[in-house]
């Protein structure tokens, strides 16, 4: 949970300075930037970090005038070295909050000064359909294969495991008869577009997000 300093800043109405981490298209990043620009999210995106040089999220950041850089997972000496470089970039940008937005690389260990300050959104109701290898359309395909009647999304604090850590907020959506991966993915993404900003607002206010 946020510490006392962050709680005070949230109650005072200040914006949280954030780094957003992406590995792909950056659709979630775009949604966060739209909310921030509209004044519906108390967030200042100070930096976008991409784990791949071809991540389209870099282009989205460029179009919005947001500083961006690549910290490539491929070629890093170790997970720990990669993680350290990512968080060094976040510190340099003055980020107090780190938001994973379609970020696919494991971060371990989370540095002590960022514990409780790294959030992720996952396109399923964790702990179901989470863990290594469960991302994007793979999640929705697994939900359909399991015959689940509902799915949704989860916002959680990030620890040293994939899709793990305290849950802040979940939103549920139905799995409808005749659904395929694209239709289910679209329905879940609409829930994500509201759930992530809601959880971030709650973090900034210094309280647990409502379920």
- Mean per-residue pLDDT of the chain: 92
Q: Where are the domains of the chain?
A: 4-204
pLDDT at residue 211 tops 80: no
pLDDT at 5: 37
pLDDT at residue 30 tops 90: yes
pLDDT at residue 49 tops 60: yes
What's the CA gap between 9 and 6, in Å, rounded? 5
Question: What value does the mean pLDDT take over residues 23-35?
Answer: 97
Q: Active-site residues: which are they?
A: 122
What's the CA gap between 147 and 46, in Å, rounded? 41
pLDDT-derived band at 4 (thresholds 50, 70, 90) equals very low
pLDDT at residue 146 tops 80: yes
SS3 7: helix
pLDDT at 75: 87
Question: What value does the mean pLDDT take over residues 191-204?
Answer: 96
What's the CA gap between 74 and 52, in Å, rounded? 8
pLDDT at 3: 41
pLDDT at residue 210 tops 50: no
pLDDT at 8: 37
Q: Please tell me the number of Cα atoms within 13 Å of 80 on its side-chain side.
A: 1
**Phi and psi at residue 47, to the nearest 5°:** -160, 145
What is the model's pTM? 0.90
pLDDT at 94: 97
pLDDT one-digit tens code per residue, 149-188: 999 999 999 999 999 999 999 999 999 999 999 999 999 9
Which of 3.40.50.300, 3.40.630.30, 3.40.50.170, 3.30.300.30 would CATH assign to domain 4-204?
3.40.50.170
Phi-psi region of 162 (alpha: psi -120 to 50; beta: other; left: phi over 0): beta
pLDDT one-digit tens code per residue, 101-119: 999 999 999 999 999 999 9
């Amino acid at each position: 949970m946020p510490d006392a300093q962050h709680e005070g800043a949230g109650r005072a109405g200040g914006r949280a300075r954030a780094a957003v981490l992406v590995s792909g298209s950056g659709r979630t990043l775009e949604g966060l930037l739209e909310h921030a620009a509209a004044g519906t999210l108390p967030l200042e995106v100070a930096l976008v970090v991409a784990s791949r040089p071809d991540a389209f999220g870099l282009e989205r950041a460029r179009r919005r005038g947001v500083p961006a850089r690549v910290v490539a997972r491929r070629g890093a000496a170790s997970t720990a070295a990669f993680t350290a470089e990512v968080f060094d970039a976040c510190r340099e940008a003055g980020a107090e909050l780190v938001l994973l937005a379609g970020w696919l690389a494991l971060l371990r260990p989370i540095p002590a000064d960022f514990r409780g300050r790294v959030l992720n959104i996952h396109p399923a109701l964790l702990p179901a359909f989470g863990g290594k290898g469960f991302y994007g359309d793979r999640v929705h395909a697994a939900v359909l294969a399991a015959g689940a009647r509902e799915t949704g999304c989860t916002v959680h604090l990030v620890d040293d495991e994939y899709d793990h850590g305290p849950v802040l907020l979940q939103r549920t959506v139905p799995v409808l008869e005749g659904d395929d991966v694209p239709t289910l993915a679209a329905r879940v993404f609409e829930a994500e577009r509201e759930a992530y900003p809601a959880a971030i607002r709650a973090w900034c206010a210094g309280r647990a997000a409502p379920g």
